[in-house]
Amino acid sequence: MEKLFGLEMTTIAAFLGAVLSLVLLVLALMGWRNNVMLKLGLRPILRRRTQSSLIVLGLMLATLIITAAFVTGDTLSHTIRSLVIEELGPVDEMISVRANGDATRSSYFSFSRYEDVAEELGSYPLVDAVVPGIRESVPAVNLTRRQSMRALQLIGVRPEDAALVFPVEERTDADGNLLLIEALEGREIYLNEAAAEALDAQKGDRLELYVKSSPRIFVVGGVSASGRSARAFLDLRQAQALFAERGRVNLIVISNNGDDTRGVRHSEEVTAYARAILSDEAAAKRLLTRLASDKSAMQAIRSAAITYEGNTRADLLALAAGLEAGTLTNTLQSLLADEALGAEVRSILDQEEWQSESMRRRLVTQFNQLSDFSVEDTKRDGLDQAELAANAFTTIFVVTGLFGIASGLLLIFLIFVMLAAERKSEMGMARAIGAQRRHLVQMFVYEGTAYDLVAAGVGVALGVLTGLVIALTLGSAFAASDLAIRPNVTLKSLAVSYSLGMLVTFLTVMISARRVSRLNIVSAIRDLPEPPPQPVPLKNRLLSPLHAFLDGFRNLRRLRIWRALRSWIVTIPASFLRLIWAGFRGGPFTFLLGVMLVAAGMQAESGALFTTGVSFSLIGGGLVLQRLLALIFKQRKVLTERIAYTLLGLALTVFWSLPSESFEVFGVKDLKSGPEMLFIAGFMMVVGAVMVVMYNTDLLLRVILRILGGNRRLAPVLRMAVAYPLANRFRTGLTLGMFGVVVFSVVFMATAFKANEAFFENTDALTGGFELRANANANNPIPNLARAAARRPELRGGGFEVITSESTLNVELQEDGGRWSWYRLRAVDDPYLDTVGYEFALLAEGYESDQQVWETVRDHPGYAVIDSYAVPSRQNTSIVIGGPDFKLEGLYLEDEIMEPTRLRVRDSRGTAFEVMVIGVLDQTAGFTFSLITSQSTLEKVLPETPIPTSYYVDLADNVDPALAGAALESAFLEYGLETVDQVQEIKDAQAAQRAIEQLLLGFLTLGLIVGVAALGVISSRAVVERRQQIGVLRALGFQGRMVSWSFMIEASFVALLGISLGAGLALIPAYQMINDLAVDVPGLTFQVPWGSIALVVGLAYGMALLATYLPAQQAARVLPAEALRYE
Amino acid sequence: MNSMVNDTIIQANDVYKTYQTGTVSVQALRGVSLEVKRKEVIAVMGPSGCGKTTLLNCLSGLDAADKGIINIEGSQLTEMTDYERTDYRAKRMGFVFQFYNLLPVLSAVENVEMPLLLSGVRPGEARDAALDALVQVGLAERSNHRPAELSGGERQRVTIARALVNHPVIVWADEPTGDLDSETADQVMDVLIRLNEERDLTFLLVTHARRVAARCTRIVRMRDGQIEGEQTPEEVLAQLSQIPAMGEDLSE
């Protein structure tokens, strides 16, 4: 991958590398200055190898997840890039005729025009070759084997140019012979592998190619052993004769200097140069003067640029900068002459209401006058798309990995708390003999960094493996499209993953080290419980910045300049920070922050801000309540904490369990939320529930003991097993949290996926009742398939109940004078509107039923319905890659009803008309972005109605769509009609989706490693910590087996509690989300994914037991006499 | 003091025990033979490292002797498996340690009831018996406190209650007053002696303190892993009175 979050990977790698090096350098210097702490920090690593291994396992997870996400991105990027490069071979740019708003304009130009262009471009040093050609798409039929295809791309080139247009693999047959164009005899063509496969063709087969509906017979002269998209190549002269365009071509291909891969590096410059020389300088100057005359235009382009991605964004910014400079440079001229960019600029300016309709038309004309040719940087554009797709997947996996990363960081914290507990008396002694607190921090940081260095390395290695598994699984998920995944890992990604994982872990280590170094020396030496910290009076806190300020002066007077500076620069800000932090810890500031976030959330209609704000207010309120209760019930700390934190935990859990409509009671409406809400919800609910459990575990245990404690054999074991987690509330809470968060994410996703399965089951809602879809080539369409089919005797009795037709055209849509955005318009015939079964998410006011809406569209030209992609949802839980960005204003999918909405539609020739949208289709019908209207609507407003090229067929019951499709294809072989079994298509899509879902679930489950490592660390630590107690128990009569059972039950208690918390809590938001979505998506029902839950619970619990088994066995082998000798 | 001793409860013959600490082997017991009668209160004394605790561990079955025969109540301990020894400890023995060795995560009453639960007593009955035992050592009101919330003397009394709750025949005590001031140590010894008299229990105490030893029925002196000889309480008392200036809690 080249970029992440819009930043160059090289820049990110350099920055992170620099920060990491700086951190390591500072640590090395500190270690060199005081190597006692370094030695103390590093010594335990090799001494306790098992424990060290477990720590490394826990610490590596964040790096593993980050690396896996990057490697997935790298592999996908590399795969798609390779496909683009293989497909285009030496071709870097393509030049063709610009329509400039005139659809009737011929795409051909004279050969002499090509020669002029070639002369000018050929002298450019970065250009290797400029080649003329013809490119056309035609329906093709293999007469020998009766197999047809709708769109075969024909490419005509001169024999000497073939090597400059096609990759050598595509010009070589299976035996390794070069397919030479000059060797083709009259009416012979070569097919590439994909074309041969689609037509089932072999050398010598007779093909019928349809040019403007008339068939021409060709013979297959050879088949190449490569090529992914179906194309055929022939001599340019043959092509000119075939399309009746003698002496003319419709394509100029440019190959840059450098091979297939490297040539693209010059693409930006070559494209700019080509656009500059092919555009009219005077027209460009006029356009520049016009655009630069208004600063708001540049501003609009600049601010709109950030909503775009990839090259388009960069080009728009460069254009805005060029317009600002006001001078027509080659670059600026080429940007203006970029046809696609020009369309974007016009769209941006339309939206800004920058100009009146007449001005707008003039601007269109000025853009059209710029050039007759469009120069496309085809390869560079393809590579850019590869990058965007790879980025999208990386983002998905990073976001999904957040749960694992979060619980990984909790684990690091836990590990350091445990390490500190282990060395408590050692640390106390060190402090007693003069070590400062910072020395202890240093000691832990050295140790943590050493683990971290190794863990990040292991994480990267395992992350690479995981990433490759993910990428390969993705490849098989898309097996239907025959995508061969090519594993790839870049050094940059590895460097970024290592540094990022290392730094995130290091930061957590720092925070943990600071926390654990705060200890009471006497308690530490005698291994007594840490006394509660002495509260600092508020007055002292408030005055501490002032004291620091005065201290500075005092030091200055004594000429201690360094100390004075330290007081002012370090101590004053630190005391302010402490003051603020105390405010947060005490509750009031947390509460205020929450209130502010709530207000901001309501203002910005942001669900994330609002709900996080309420959570902060609750946490702040809970902390304040605890303080107040402590004042009332003095000396009853346990009670006050129990009341305050139980209420707080319950409030958090209940709040996050509420359905979003419940906020409307408080007048909060229209909150929007995105996928990040899932992460926040999961985290908050688990935190709340863990609080409730941890402050009431004794009650829970009493119940457990009452139920199970009656068993005489089990009673003592159970007593010990539950006593320890209860006594170590912090550790237990953290472990519960880790299990809870991860299991929450897995179960939530599994539930959502299960509902999705049900969604796919409803094939009628997805197909609209049409089992078969057929497509014909625009060069050879069937104007009325229903009538044509009726005339074919072989189709009679084939179960074709209704055959409908549809014409599709790309249009632009505008609502209420807003921005024009491209969209797809589907004009369907009356039988379609009579038969279609799609349901609606929203009906316009005055319409009672779906049926009524469809009838209105059929009977009244000018009426239309639109798909659900055009309407925003308040629950934005899906990620849509690509597609138009047109959205209806002021309307949400969750609304009950809509106003009839008037839209302006503009076709490619600029003809504009209006339609009235009276319904929004359900999401089930939303496979394509489309505005659906009747063909009669178009007949009324367009001078020439487009001919239908798509057909939908309703088959009788018990008719096999595959057989019916084959019959239809065979009957209309000469049209190259292609049919698709829509139900099968859905099933294939479902299978691909299922594979991706399983992959995401697997990725989430990685987080379980954390919980398991936590239990492993806790258990092996417990063996050391409780050695003497094990001795006592053994002396009292505990059998060795009972000791190990006690350990296993303890781990089971923690693991099962965490797992059930996570699983139980996840079902609440999952239920609500699915119920919310079910309003718009019929067939979507909440089902508990018992199978997945059982699998996750079984896996998590099994792994937890496995992690505890060894320490438990170790504990069982402790010799009582030896253990009792321990002090 | 009860001096009615008749049948033998502990019989150790020629017991050897060697520890391996790194490359060094330490002969902790070198042919120790000892006989203890029922209801006796025996104090084992001797300098640090002489093998007192090792003797106690071997006799109580906490550790296995390398050589020699140990008979407890007529059963040969050295022949028992670890399971049988553990079971025997749970049902017939009680332990008191210098540093109390209470389970910090359990309350006083939960600590005390643990041996009963291990002996298979129903939890309800075990709780009642544990509370009774705490009453006997004067800690009824502190039954729900955790060890960290109790003083040293209170902790040791909980340990004693725990050692006695399942009505053992022998109580092993390793430095039971080692971590206590003299006044508290006296109180703890009062409790032990009272229980010895009331319940006919046999006590084997390892101690440094002459003052404690002087209250026992018999004193066994050890040196270098062997029994050096025996003393009467009177002899120990006489030694104590010769060096009063050294303080009350005088050790060897």
Chain B residues within an 8 Å CB radius of A1025: none
pLDDT value at position B252? 43
pLDDT tier, B5 (very low <50, low <70, confident <90, very high otherwise):
very low
Q: List the single range of A193-197, A773-777, A780-784, B229-233 with lowest mean pLDDT.
A: A780-784
Chain B interface residues facing chain A, Cβ-Cβ under 8 Å?
53-54, 57, 60, 62-63, 82-83, 86-87, 89-91, 95, 97, 99, 101-106, 110, 114-115, 117-123, 126, 148, 162, 174
Q: How does DSSP classify residue A567?
A: I
Structure tokens at A1020: 């092996």
pLDDT higher than 80, residue A383? yes
Segment A750-754 shows an average pLDDT of: 86
pLDDT higher than 70, residue B65? yes
pTM score of the predicted model: 0.74
Average pLDDT in chain A: 84
Tell me the pLDDT tens digit for each residue of A431-443.
877 778 888 888 8
Tell me the pLDDT tens digit for each residue of A761-776.
777 778 888 889 998 8
Chain A nearest-CA distance from B122, in A, is: 6
pLDDT value at position A1081? 65
Q: How distant, in Å, are the alpha carbons of A1035, A1042, B102, B111, B112 from that of B107?
A: 19, 20, 9, 6, 9
- Of the candidates A715, A1035, A1122, the beta carbon closest to that of B95 is on A1035
pLDDT value at position B139? 85
Q: How distant, in Å, are the alpha carbons of A870, A919, A930 from that of A850?
A: 18, 8, 18
Distance (Å, whole) CA B2 – CA A522: 44
Chain A residues within an 8 Å CB radius of B82: 1039-1040
Phi, psi of A892 (to 5 degrees): -125, 150
pLDDT higher than 80, residue B217? yes
Segment A277-302 shows an average pLDDT of: 84
Distance (Å, whole) CA A715 – CA A735: 25
Tell me the pLDDT tens digit for each residue of A469-495.
887 877 777 655 566 778 888 888 889
Structure tokens at A331: 């670059």
CB atoms within 10 A of CB B125: 12
C-beta atoms of A716 and B103 within 8 A:
no
Side chain identity at residue A51, one-letter code:
Q
ipTM of the complex: 0.81
Interface test with B, best of A530, A704, A720, A1036 (most B CBs within 10 A): A1036
- Of the candidates B89, B122, B123, the beta carbon closest to that of A1037 is on B89
Chain B nearest-CA distance from A709, in A, is: 7
A1034 with A1118: CB under 8 angstroms? yes
Tell me the pLDDT tens digit for each residue of A310-354.
778 888 888 888 888 888 888 888 888 888 888 888 877 776 555
- Of the candidates A712, A1032, A1036, the beta carbon closest to that of B90 is on A1036
pLDDT value at position A907? 84
pLDDT higher than 50, residue B247? no
Distance (Å, whole) CA B135 – CA B112: 12
pLDDT value at position B249? 44
pLDDT value at position B248? 45
Q: Give the contacts of A428 (CB within 8 A, at least 6 positions apart).
A: A519, A521, A522, A523, A524, A525, A526
Residue whose structure tokens are 């209309």: A972
Segment B99-104 shows an average pLDDT of: 80
DSSP strand pairing (A214-223 vs A251-256) = unpaired
Q: Element (H or E) spanning A382, and its range?
A: helix A378-422
Q: Nearest chain B Cα to A727, which residue?
A: B105
pLDDT value at position A355? 61
- Of the candidates B83, B110, B120, the beta carbon closest to that of A719 is on B110
C-beta atoms of A720 and B103 within 8 A:
yes
- The answer for A366, left when phi > 0, alpha when psi is -120 to 50, beta otherwise, is alpha
Q: List the single range of A384-398, A604-618, B218-232 with lowest mean pLDDT.
A: A384-398
pLDDT value at position B246? 45
pLDDT value at position A879? 46
pLDDT value at position A482? 61
pLDDT value at position A353? 59
Distance (Å, whole) CA A811 – CA A561: 73
Q: How does DSSP classify residue A672?
A: B
In terms of average pLDDT, the best of A74-88, A668-682, B49-63 is: B49-63
Buried-exposed string A730-747: b where 16+ CB fall within 10 A, e elsewhere: ebbbbbbbbbbbbbbbbb
Q: Give the contacts of A878 (CB within 8 A, at least 6 positions apart).
A: none
C-beta atoms of B62 and A1127 within 8 A:
no
Buried-exposed string A207-222: b where 16+ CB fall within 10 A, e elsewhere: bbbbbeeeeeebbbbb
pLDDT tier, A638 (very low <50, low <70, confident <90, very high otherwise):
confident
Tell me the pLDDT tens digit for each residue of A501-516.
888 888 888 888 888 8
Q: List the single range of A399-403, A897-901, A931-935, A1041-1045 with lowest mean pLDDT.
A: A399-403
C-beta atoms of A1036 and B120 within 8 A:
no
C-beta atoms of B105 and A727 within 8 A:
yes
Chain B nearest-CA distance from A1039, in A, is: 6
More confident position, A596 or B102: A596
Segment A673-682 shows an average pLDDT of: 74
pLDDT higher than 50, residue B250? no
Tell me the pLDDT tens digit for each residue of B182-198.
787 888 888 888 888 88
pLDDT value at position A709? 61
DSSP strand pairing (A901-906 vs A7-8) = unpaired
Tell me the pLDDT tens digit for each residue of B18-27.
887 767 788 8
Q: Nearest chain B Cα to A1032, which residue?
A: B101
